Structure 1
């Protein structure tokens, strides 16, 4: 792929490939929660006619190369093309170079994998209503350098040795990107499927709230897509289960992923999103439940009958 080919990739397709889905549409404009930072109200716009983006929160915009510069913290065009090719939608024809790629100077360096202890990351988990001790059982605190600057975030491992990364200002991954699968040597009969690791942690938090004794991963197996574009990687793994319960987002992308999996695996696949009807995803439902429980506790402490 040369730079002209890269610029022909539709921004909405590229964003979908890295796990970002629009939350609103106004004519030719799609609105997203910014992939460049944490936010609750969509302020990242893609004009599908011009194939340009603009982030109102930081006052920046441009084409796919300009977006990749911020996503991958680099101005090295060769590196950016490689990163976009790696995440390019499957519908886009990508011809990778036959020569051995040069390791970019601006890639992630000096990676440290530590237990989660940083106050900013703990606060971020608490703001998402995630049980911190539960998160520590599967997530790590990652520290790394890129372009001469130091960064850190919550890392969620996948089966290929890569990590999904989250912090209050960043959403991305350390390659390779892949699914995450938690299972015992003797797989259980049931596997729960989640779209992202925050949904998975939300489920584990909800389960712990309902039964504080259940703190481990041993009750059933779990698979996290880390992006609905990874759904094609799951059929073989999930075919071994008698029951596959999907806790995917209540949007078109989540429903399409469920239908694709149901088509491939048949009656073993069930839609568990009815648990959080009226909410976008499990984390939104968890936060609403947590606020409700908090209000109930306040009323109880004041002697108010519920």
Structure 2
């Protein structure tokens, strides 16, 4: 069986084989608790007709192979092998060709949290200046001057409706898009920065917000080390060859099962790996740590500015 055939096996049957069932079933789609992160809201949607999945909480989605790669944190080859072993004696379900990409990545899979079956069309790329987007970054405590160095203001359409978002370009020339109500992408790929030709060290971030948060915390505009921004842990196989070329690796993954598993996978092929998530164990990710740190600083500053409480005066004392 090739990848196209494997991707025709129903995702809901694969999940059922793992004892994972929809929290809500609407007949033609189901809402699941994400199997690879803590998810109390059942924010992963499986479209039964198209046999595709979307996890709105982690900004990921794609085919059955994509899902296995994400759950098992493995390569395309390993995911296909796992599914071939499981479905060796079964025939794939016939889906129309135009409903399946037949590919083992999710580059063409873009989405909006409130709409489905979308294609994001970029209509304008400009400097990051819209007040709503700057406010969004400020809420996340990201230095907007630093953000302007790495991000653009992206205006795009979905079903002929106009939207705009903070855009971060990846190595595939696609855009990862973020705004207050929206998470999406025109293509999901890795972003690398080759700042150190000697390849002494490499810093690996899970998402671009984590990278911007790190720069904000350090109050710097760039790093001397080489940088890898996965934009999704599912992209690790694409970046692992570049990462392993460095004698020292520093990982900044989320504090969840998938983040820990990603660091573990890096440790399998790299000798010296420093898991930096140990420095923000009380936060879900590096940006959450930045937000909590800024709030703590503001609270301390507010306490210093409060007037000292004095006992009521009884009059002038001699």
Assess same fold via TM > 0.5: yes
Give the conservation status (yes or no) of the 8 Å contact 1:195–1:224.
yes
Residue 108 of structure 2 is aligned to residue 96 of structure 1:
no
Q: CA RMSD in A?
A: 3.7
Match of 1:101 in 2: none
Match of 1:131 in 2: 143
- Matched residue SS, 1:218: coil
Mean Cα displacement is larger for which, 270-279 or 184-193? Answer: 184-193
Give the conservation status (yes or no) of the 8 Å contact 2:5–2:102.
no
Deviation, 1:158, is: 0.8
**Which aligned pairs between 1:180-195 and structure 2 lie closer than 5 A?**
180-184=191-195, 186-195=197-206
Give the conservation status (yes or no) of the 8 Å contact 2:255–2:277.
yes
Instruction: Give, in whole Å, the separation in 2 of the partners of 1:10 and 1:219.
Output: 46
Residue 229 of structure 2 is aligned to residue 234 of structure 1:
no
Residue 205 of structure 2 is aligned to residue 198 of structure 1:
no
Match of 1:245 in 2: 250
Change (3 A) 1:12 1:123: farther
Change (3 A) 1:10 1:178: farther
Change (3 A) 1:142 1:6: farther
- Write the deviation string for residues 109-168 of structure 1: whole angstroms up to 9, x where unpaired: 343221111111111111111111111111111111221111111111111111111111
Deviation, 1:269, is: 1.5
Instruction: Give, in whole Å, the separation in 2 of the partners of 1:157 and 1:173.
Output: 10
Change (3 A) 1:230 1:182: same
Instruction: Give, in whole Å, the separation in 2 of the partners of 1:226 and 1:160.
Output: 12
Residue 305 of structure 2 is aligned to residue 301 of structure 1:
yes
- Matched residue SS, 1:206: helix
Match of 1:179 in 2: 190
- With normalisation by structure 1, the TM-score equals 0.69
Deviation, 1:283, is: 1.2
Change (3 A) 1:65 1:123: farther
- With normalisation by structure 2, the TM-score equals 0.66
Give the conservation status (yes or no) of the 8 Å contact 1:31–1:43.
yes
Match of 1:162 in 2: 174
- Matched residue SS, 1:129: coil
Match of 1:17 in 2: none
From 153, 164, 167, the counterpart of 1:141: 153
Give the conservation status (yes or no) of the 8 Å contact 1:7–1:63.
no
- Write the deviation string for residues 269-291 of structure 1: whole angstroms up to 9, x where unpaired: 12111110122111111111111
Match of 2:10 in 1: 8
Instruction: Give, in whole Å, the separation in 2 of the partners of 1:141 and 1:87.
Output: 33
Give the conservation status (yes or no) of the 8 Å contact 1:155–1:164.
yes
Which of 1 and 2 has greater Rg? 2
Instruction: Give, in whole Å, the separation in 1 of the partners of 2:54 and 2:158.
Output: 12
Change (3 A) 1:155 1:196: same
Match of 2:70 in 1: none
* Runs of 5+ consecutive residues of structure 2 not aligned to the other structure: 24-31, 68-75, 84-99, 104-116, 310-318
Deviation, 1:45, is: 4.5
Give the conservation status (yes or no) of the 8 Å contact 2:166–2:177.
yes
